[in-house]
C-alpha cells in the first residue's frame, strides 16, 4: 500500500518514512509542492501526508488541485500553524484530518490508519452522520435536508465532530481545535456551546462520556 509523504524537512521526512515503512507501507517522498502534486495525480496511493508549508506550491494548493482533478484518497495535513482558521482552510481545501507540529509520530500512524479504514480510498468534501450533512467546501450544515443555522463557534465544534465521527474527543482536545487563543479547561464555555448545538440538532447525536469527553454518532 503506497503512501505519499509531502514534507520538506529532511530529518522529519526521514523519520516518518522509516516509521511508515516499518508499518508495512511503501512511501513516495516529495520535498516540494510541485512534485507532490504531480505524484498525487499519477500514482496509485492509499493516502497522503502533506505539510502545508511546502516550498514551491504550498500544501493547500496541492490538496485543492488533487480534489479538483477528482483524486479522492484521504489526506492528513501536517503544519506548525495552530490557529483554527488555518485548520479550517485545510479542511476546506479537501483535507481529512490535521496534526499540529510538534506531534508524536505514532499518533500520525494511528490517524493515517483510521483515515484509510474510514475512507476505503474515497475522500469527500461532503460528510454525513445520520441526518446531519456537512458540505466542507460551502461551510454549510444541513439537518434532515434543511439548513442548520450555527454561530461561527458552533460551526467550528460541529465541523470538528463531523471530521471525527464515532470518536470520543476530550474537552481539552476539542477546545484547542476550536479556539485561536489558549483554552481554559476550567471554563464552562465549551459545555454551553455544545448544549446549544444539541438543542439545534433536536436529537441525541452528541453523546457525553463522563470523564472522557464527547462523541458524535448516529448510534446510541
C-alpha grid cell, residue 115: 483515515
Mind listing the pLDDT tens digit for each residue in 153-200?
A: 888 788 888 877 888 888 877 776 666 445 565 668 888 889 999 999
**For the chain, domain boundaries:** 2-119, 126-216
Can you give the pLDDT at residue 115? 85
The whole-model pTM stands at 0.56
Mind listing the pLDDT tens digit for each residue in 106-118?
A: 889 888 888 887 7
Can you give the pLDDT at residue 96? 86
Can you give the pLDDT at residue 2? 86
Strand partners, 133: 128, 142
Q: How many CB atoms lie within 10 A of CB 44?
A: 8
Stretches in the chain below the pLDDT threshold 70 = 81-87, 119-125, 136-138, 176-187, 203, 220
Tell me which CATH homologous superfamily contains domain 2-119: Response regulator (3.40.50.2300)
CA distance 164 to 127: 10
CA distance 39 to 29: 9
Q: Return the CATH number of the domain spanning residue range 126-216.
A: 1.10.10.10
Whether the Cβ atoms of residue 169 and residue 194 lie closer than 8 Å to each other? no
Amino acid at each position: 500500500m503506497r503512501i505519499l509523504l509531502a514534507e520538506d524537512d529532511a530529518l522529519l521526512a526521514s523519520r516518518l518514512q522509516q516509521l511508515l515503512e516499518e508499518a508495512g507501507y511503501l512511501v513516495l517522498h516529495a520535498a516540494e509542492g510541485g512534485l507532490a502534486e504531480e505524484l498525487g495525480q499519477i500514482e496509485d496511493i492509499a493516502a497522503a501526508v502533506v505539510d502545508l508549508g511546502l516550498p514551491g506550491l504550498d500544501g493547500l494548493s496541492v490538496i485543492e488541485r488533487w480534489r479538483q482533478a477528482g483524486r479522492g484518497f484521504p489526506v492528513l495535513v501536517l503544519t506548525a500553524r495552530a490557529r483554527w482558521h488555518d485548520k479550517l482552510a485545510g479542511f476546506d481545501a479537501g483535507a481529512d484530518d490535521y496534526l499540529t507540529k510538534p506531534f508524536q509520530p505514532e499518533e500520525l500512524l494511528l490517524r493515517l490508519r483510521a483515515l484509510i479504514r474510514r475512507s476505503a480510498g474515497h475522500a469527500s468534501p461532503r460528510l454525513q452522520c445520520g441526518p446531519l450533512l456537512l458540505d466542507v467546501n460551502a461551510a454549510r450544515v444541513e439537518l434532515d435536508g434543511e439548513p442548520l443555522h450555527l454561530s461561527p463557534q458552533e460551526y467550528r465544534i460541529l465541523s470538528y465532530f463531523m471530521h471525527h465521527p464515532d470518536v470520543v474527543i476530550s474537552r481539552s482536545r476539542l477546545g484547542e481545535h476550536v479556539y485561536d487563543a489558549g483554552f481554559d479547561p476550567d471554563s464552562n464555555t465549551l459545555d454551553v456551546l455544545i448544549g446549544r448545538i444539541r438543542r439545534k440538532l433536536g436529537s441525541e447525536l452528541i453523546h457525553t462520556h463522563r470523564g472522557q469527553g464527547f462523541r458524535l454518532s448516529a448510534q446510541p
